[in-house]
């Protein structure tokens, strides 16, 4: 049995060896081996020297075509389109037909949470081969490059782009356009002023790229530019149809202190504050409010129809036309003070109907004051119609006519010589105005203020508001003038001074002040006398000085001009004069008795004269 098995094993090995020999391929004999002469004859020495083997032209063209269609040149820094082939927890695997697939972090696709396998995305080759041999791509950089290309194209071509308003910033909004943060100025959001910017946050709107700063990579967009383009077309159509007197509907666009701007559908017009209401108003917001729709009438416009003047009050009849025919001059009316000026006050007697009360018609007093002294804005007053012109729409009123004219019985109340008390109301350079009662003023001339004081201006004697006692000096009923006096309320002290300080009377006093050309002396509070320089000479020939006490003689007294002149010199000269006079008299008597010669008499007179002149 063993021998039989061994024999079978040997037979199997022989069979396997035969099969191996039978299946082994036979070596191909080359031309070089089979026919060396022919091989050398056909050998391409050029290809041998260049080191390349010949390739069929057809195969070469097919290979170049496949490369052009499928292979990506990873050396070029260009944006290419790739296909998402796999998504991991952190990355997206992108096929860009390169030697290997690229990797993009999922962080770059946060804006697109719906990214899935099969989506086509734009990428930029960031790293051709990292340390692990991986191709690294960037979707964010690709988006930025493409976005700038699109933004520049939109700016150059003037095309409209969509943008997402991300948030509010100082002076405007931040808008996402193609992944680029662009600035939208507040003035470029809308044609009308924006009061609430937050309502635009989170909205997708259409914009126009108006400015690009390539140096700082800044983009400015405008939504207003798109609106203006539409409005400009509407504006041309509206302007072409404008006519004076035409009534249009508009929307209040802006309110200022001087008027209201109304949007007529792309064209703005101004309603001046005076054209809002027939009545006076302080501010336009008393009549209208923002975004209010209202009808206005076209009053006027310039040649280009760019400045349009509108009116609101003109849509209603003028209030003067509603005045009844029964209202006439002399009637009493009630109204409210709406405006006060220096010359008077305007009273609204009916809505839109005003009358002027001139300040001269506010009081019977001829001494005019300001209108503010009589009325205030908002006061309710009653007045009498003095004049009325419905065509000119003017009315003058008076409130002093509501009381009797105080001058009607002036002669009875204030006869000449009567004494009264009045209040100082005003000063002038020549006197003081004193009010005896409302409507009755009188003037005290400066010369009638004091008997004794020399007054240069009334303010030296009294103050405004003081009460003075007066006497009526003159009365002019037709001229409505009263002449008053204050000093006449007392006796004139100069009447008694006329006797007390008569010429020749002597009084003792001290030199008060030395002045130009003389000195002054005070005899009492009222009498200040002047002493000429030569009359200050004393008996010994010296001159009186300030503070020296001496006896003075009055040599001039004028009650009318309150002038007193005194002299010290005449007192001692008077004694000498008496001696001379007596000597002359004695000499004459002696002459008669002794029949002296003329020469002797002359010698005696000359001796006396020399003595009086102070000669020895």
DSSP string, 172-199: EEEEEETTEEEEEEGGGT-SS--S-GGG
Structure tokens at 85: 């082939």
The secondary structure of residue 288, as a DSSP letter, is: -
| Contact between residue 296 and residue 311 where contact means Cβ atoms under 8 Å apart | yes
Contacts of 131 (CB under 8 A, 6+ apart): none
| Contact between residue 208 and residue 160 where contact means Cβ atoms under 8 Å apart | yes
- The pLDDT value given to residue 303: 67
Q: What are the strands, taking DSSP E only, across 192-246? A: 204-213, 218-222
What are the start-end ranges of the H helices in 527-597? 569-594
| Contact between residue 167 and residue 176 where contact means Cβ atoms under 8 Å apart | no
| Contact between residue 98 and residue 135 where contact means Cβ atoms under 8 Å apart | yes
Quote the CA–CA distance of 99 and 462 in Å, as a whole number: 115
**Residue range 164-214, pLDDT digits in tens:** 888 988 888 898 888 788 898 888 888 777 778 888 888 888 888 888 887
| Contact between residue 323 and residue 353 where contact means Cβ atoms under 8 Å apart | yes
Q: How far is CA 524 from CA 244, 259, 562, 568, in A?
A: 87, 74, 14, 18
Buried-exposed string 98-137: b where 16+ CB fall within 10 A, e elsewhere: beebbbbebebbeeeeebeeeeebebbbbeeeeeeeebbb
Quote the CA–CA distance of 403 and 400 in Å, as a whole number: 6
- The pLDDT value given to residue 18: 46
CB atoms within 10 A of CB 388: 19
Q: What is the 3-state secondary structure (H, E, C) of 44-58?
A: CHHHHHHCCCCCCHH
Quote the CA–CA distance of 416 and 431 in Å, as a whole number: 19
Q: What share of the chain is helix, strand, coil (3-state, %, to 5)?
A: 30, 35, 35
- The pLDDT value given to residue 396: 92
Measured CA angle at 158 (ends 157, 160), to 5 deg: 120
Tokens 């991986």 -> residue: 134
For the chain, the C-alpha Rg in angstroms (whole number) is 62
Q: How far is CA 610 from CA 28, 570, 575, in A?
A: 189, 17, 15
Q: Give me the DSSP letters along 326-369.
A: T--TT-EEEEEEEEEETTEEEEEEETTEEEEEEGGGT-S-SS--
Quote the CA–CA distance of 359 and 88 in Å, as a whole number: 94
Quote the CA–CA distance of 356 and 390 in Å, as a whole number: 14
Contacts of 471 (CB under 8 A, 6+ apart): 417, 418, 419, 420, 484, 485, 486, 488, 489
Q: How far is CA 5 from CA 13, 16, 19, 504, 572, in A?
A: 13, 17, 21, 201, 203
Measured CA angle at 434 (ends 432, 436), to 5 deg: 165
| Contact between residue 465 and residue 426 where contact means Cβ atoms under 8 Å apart | no
- The pLDDT value given to residue 19: 45
Quote the CA–CA distance of 553 and 532 in Å, as a whole number: 12
Q: How far is CA 364 from CA 22, 333, 347, 400, in A?
A: 155, 19, 19, 6
- Where the chain has pLDDT below 70, the residues are 1-77, 99, 127-133, 303-306, 324, 366-368, 575-584, 586-616
Long-range CB contact pairs, 278-284, < 8 A, 24+: 278/313, 278/316, 278/318, 278/319, 278/351, 278/352, 279/338, 279/348, 279/351, 279/352, 280/338, 280/339, 280/346, 280/348, 280/354, 283/257, 284/255, 284/256, 284/257, 284/259, 284/260
DSSP H or E run through 513: strand 506-515
- The pLDDT value given to residue 20: 45
| Contact between residue 411 and residue 475 where contact means Cβ atoms under 8 Å apart | yes
Burial (CB < 10 A; 0-12, 13-18, 19+), residue 277, is: middle
Quote the CA–CA distance of 373 and 406 in Å, as a whole number: 20
Pick from 200, 266, 261, 207: nearest CA to 233: 266
């Amino acid at each position: 049995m063993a021998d039989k098995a061994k024999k079978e094993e040997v037979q199997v090995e022989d069979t396997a060896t035969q099969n191996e020999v039978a299946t082994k391929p036979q070596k191909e004999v080359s031309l070089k081996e089979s026919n060396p002469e022919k091989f050398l004859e056909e050998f391409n020495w050029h290809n041998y020297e260049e080191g390349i083997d010949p390739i069929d032209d057809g195969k070469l063209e097919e290979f170049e075509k496949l490369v052009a269609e499928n292979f990506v040149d990873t050396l070029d820094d260009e944006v290419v389109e790739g296909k998402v082939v796999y998504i991991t927890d952190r990355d997206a695997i992108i096929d860009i037909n390169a030697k290997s697939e690229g990797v993009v972090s999922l962080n770059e696709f946060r804006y697109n949470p719906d990214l899935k396998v099969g989506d086509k995305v734009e990428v930029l080759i960031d790293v051709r081969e990292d340390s692990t041999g991986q191709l690294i791509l960037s979707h964010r950089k690709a988006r930025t490059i493409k976005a700038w290309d699109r933004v520049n194209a939109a700016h150059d071509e003037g095309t409209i782009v969509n943008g997402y308003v991300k948030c509010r910033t100082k002076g405007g909004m931040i808008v996402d356009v193609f992944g680029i943060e662009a600035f939208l100025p507040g003035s470029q959001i809308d044609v009308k002023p924006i009061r609430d910017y937050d309502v635009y946050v989170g909205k997708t709107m259409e914009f126009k790229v108006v400015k690009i700063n390539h140096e700082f990579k800044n983009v400015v967009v405008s939504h207003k530019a798109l609106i203006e383009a539409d409005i400009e077309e509407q504006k041309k159509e509206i302007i072409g149809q404008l006519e004076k007197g035409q009534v249009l509907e508009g929307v209040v666009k802006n309110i200022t202190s001087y008027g209201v701007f109304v949007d007529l559908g792309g064209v703005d017009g101004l309603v001046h504050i005076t054209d809002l209401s027939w009545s006076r108003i302080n501010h336009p917001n008393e009549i209208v409010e923002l975004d209010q729709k209202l009808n206005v009438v076209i009053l006027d416009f310039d040649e280009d129809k760019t400045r349009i003047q509108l009116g609101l009050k003109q849509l209603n009849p003028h209030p003067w036309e509603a005045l009844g025919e029964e209202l006439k001059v002399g009637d009493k009316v009630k109204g409210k003070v709406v405006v006060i000026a220096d010359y008077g006050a305007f009273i609204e007697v009916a809505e839109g109907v005003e009358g002027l009360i001139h300040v001269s018609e506010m009081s019977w007093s001829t001494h005019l004051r300001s209108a503010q002294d009589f009325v205030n804005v908002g006061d309710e007053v009653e007045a009498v119609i003095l004049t009325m012109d419905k065509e000119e729409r003017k009315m003058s009123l008076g409130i002093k006519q509501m009381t009797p004219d105080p001058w009607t019985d002036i002669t009875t109340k204030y006869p000449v010589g009567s004494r009264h008390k009045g209040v100082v109301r005003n000063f002038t350079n020549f006197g003081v105005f004193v009010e005896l009662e409302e409507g009755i003023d009188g003037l005290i001339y400066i010369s009638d203020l004091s008997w004794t004081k020399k007054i240069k201006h009334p303010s030296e004697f009294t103050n405004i508001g003081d009460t003075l006692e007066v006497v009526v000096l003159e009365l002019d009923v037709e001229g409505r003038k009263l002449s008053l006096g204050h000093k006449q309320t007392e006796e004139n002290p100069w009447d008694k001074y006329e006797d007390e300080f008569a010429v020749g009377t002597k009084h003792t006093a001290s030199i008060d002040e030395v002045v130009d050309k003389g000195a002054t002396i005070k005899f009492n509070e009222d009498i200040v006398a002047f002493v000429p320089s030569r009359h200050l000479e004393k008996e010994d020939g010296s001159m009186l000085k300030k503070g020296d006490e001496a006896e003075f003689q009055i040599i001039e007294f004028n009650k009318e001009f309150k002038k007193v002149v005194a002299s010290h010199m005449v007192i001692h000269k008077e004694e000498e004069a008496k001696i001379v006079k007596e000597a002359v008299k004695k000499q004459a008597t002696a002459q008669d008795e002794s029949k002296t010669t003329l020469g002797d008499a002359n010698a005696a007179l000359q001796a006396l004269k020399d003595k009086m002149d102070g000669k020895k």
